[in-house]
Structure 1
Amino acid sequence: MLNENIKRIRKSKGLSQEELAIKLNVVRQTVSKWENGLSVPDSSMLIILANELDTTVSELLGEPVVEPTTDDLKILSEKLEVINLQLAKRSITKVKTIRWILISLCAVIVVIFIALASMNSFYLNWNYNDPELAVAGTILHGFEFLFVRLAPIVFLTSVVGVVVTYKKR
């Protein structure tokens, strides 16, 4: 049945054995063997053959193609609707999670700013001749230096992110 279907579909497309062979990157004799039932294409070649002939592998193999009924279409559309609702819920949950992470980041930045402002760089009065205090003071000063410069950018970016996640879709 495969050999007859290949020949019938090839002829209906107006292709010669040579033209089909060129499209499939095989020799003409290979197509001839398929059509005469002397050999069959392997599974990967069957897929390529079906694509070149604008048909399905099932049709090439002679399996009846069942047209979907309206009941099948209704069931399929209901399943797709359920999947779409699940995806929408997942998307909303993801947006809410991102929003709360950004709000938390803003809160942490504000708390650290308040803590640093209330400390008023007290570590600058330490005795830096003591190596342990020197290291701790340097670390605190480096943290404060970087934080004061980077935190406003991160804070504003987080605020914009929160506003964007509240935007109506």
Structure 2
Amino acid sequence: MFSENLKAVRKAKGYTQEELAIKLNVVRQTVSKWEKGLSVPDADVLSRIADVLDTKVSVLLGGSVKEEANTNAVAEQLAKISEQLAVKNRRNKRIWEIIGIVLLVIVIFNIMMAVLFSVNTSSSSWSENNNQSVIEIDGTDIEE
């Protein structure tokens, strides 16, 4: 896959992510995203990467592209990689959405339980306080 091949070729050539980024006029985080498989470069940048690393685009893509000049094949492979990345990102997004919903339900449930407990506690203490009544007759208190 492109991400693994890029990292291997970059390290074999002795470049750090920062050095490669400077040569490509991108930020280091962009190179990091490429190597982690979080994004892929467009065809022009891919060609520049191959030039800087003194390798063929087909080596970076890990496929069986016969010629670098065949940009359609390169574009097709990039499209496939982008599609796979998009599917992976959608799947991860769905997982995080589900986790968020579950956590929200747990928080709401805990809040409801706390409110019900406090209402139950205050109503029982109210009824205990109202069981005794004091009657004052001629200045003396009599409890019932």
TM-score when normalising by structure 2: 0.44
TM-score when normalising by structure 1: 0.38
